[in-house]
Amino acid sequence: MRTLAKRPQDSTGELSRTPIFDTSRSSPTSPAPGARRGGAFEHPSLPNLSRRSVVTGMVAAAAATLPQAAQAAVTTPVLGAGGDGTGPDARLVELGRRYRHLASLEASANETYERCCAAVPEQKRPDVLRHRMEDHVCGLHLPLIVPPGCSRGLSCDPNRNAFYTAEEISRLRFAPPPSDPDSIADQQARVREIELAWRTWLDQCWAEDEAAGVHAAEEAVVSVVKAQREVVKEIAATPATTLVGLQVRAEILAEILDYEPAEEVTAEEQMTRALLRDLLAMVA
């Protein structure tokens, strides 16, 4: 099961839109830009069905089913044991068909989402959101997060400085007060200036997303993937009693594993893939 596509990058090098499953997206002013859009498909309204948990459940279910299917194979022919819709594993066969239908809908929904994202014009960030020398060096003590290994410095020309990130803006109100009491009012004014510009920019981004159909396309992807994962849960919970049923479960598990990036495949998943190749070759 795929994840939603990433948004195009803006001129700052950061992803320019709200994280697609931020729980605060019902409000246009939710914190967002600069956060990674895509990645692991998680949503607070969905059950805990990450690909890793689905794979784990499917592997365990397949392992428990294998002895039953092997015993059934002695008296049950490989073909026709549920494939005609009337056999003992007819339910698994139907679930396999439903999974593939939903997979095709998911691909179409992802394409629609990508087109909508591509149609959104980039909203230029106001320069007031850039770091300034006086924000840090002259005693305002505003947050400046420098990642390890980054050589980014501050310029006297604000236009050469980076924009405040979402994390930095979330920390503005927790900035320690300046050591000079006369600078406290300046710090508070600068914090209000940044937060107002940030909220205004977020509202503009939200409106552009809405106009381009991004939100509706996003909801369509969530709906399809949720339905697909419910089918996967039922496939994992339905024991196979014939080789046809076992084949359905193995094929679905193989498709799920195919979405795993090569660099993230564990030794256990490599062995699972090898066993699946052997199993599918035998029942083909």
Instruction: Give CA–CA dist 219/167, Å, rounded.
Output: 26
Q: What angle do CA 65, 270, 284 make, to 5 degrees?
A: 55
Q: What letter would DSSP give residue 123?
A: -
pLDDT at 85: 56
pLDDT at 172: 94
Candidates 208, 282, 277; CA nearest to 243 is: 282
Mean pLDDT per 10-residue segment, the chain (284 residues): 43 36 34 35 39 52 49 43 65 92 94 95 93 88 84 84 94 91 93 97 96 96 94 90 87 79 73 81 77
pLDDT at 71: 47
- The first and second tokens of residue 15, run together, are 């992803």
pLDDT at 19: 33
Instruction: Give CA–CA dist 22/18, Å, rounded.
Output: 7
Phi and psi based region of residue 152 (left: phi greater than 0; alpha: psi -120 to 50; beta: remaining): beta
| pLDDT tens per residue, range 109-144 | 999 999 999 999 988 999 999 999 999 987 899 999
Candidates 34, 42, 41; CA nearest to 147 is: 34
Q: Find the DSSP H helices in 156-262.
A: 166-170, 184-212, 214-237, 243-258
Phi and psi based region of residue 273 (left: phi greater than 0; alpha: psi -120 to 50; beta: remaining): alpha
pLDDT at 6: 42
**Whole-model pTM above 0.85?**
no
Task: Compute the CA torsion angle 76, 80, 82, 85 (nearest 10 deg).
Answer: -150
| SS3 label, residue 21 | coil
pLDDT at 36: 31
pLDDT at 88: 81
pLDDT at 256: 80
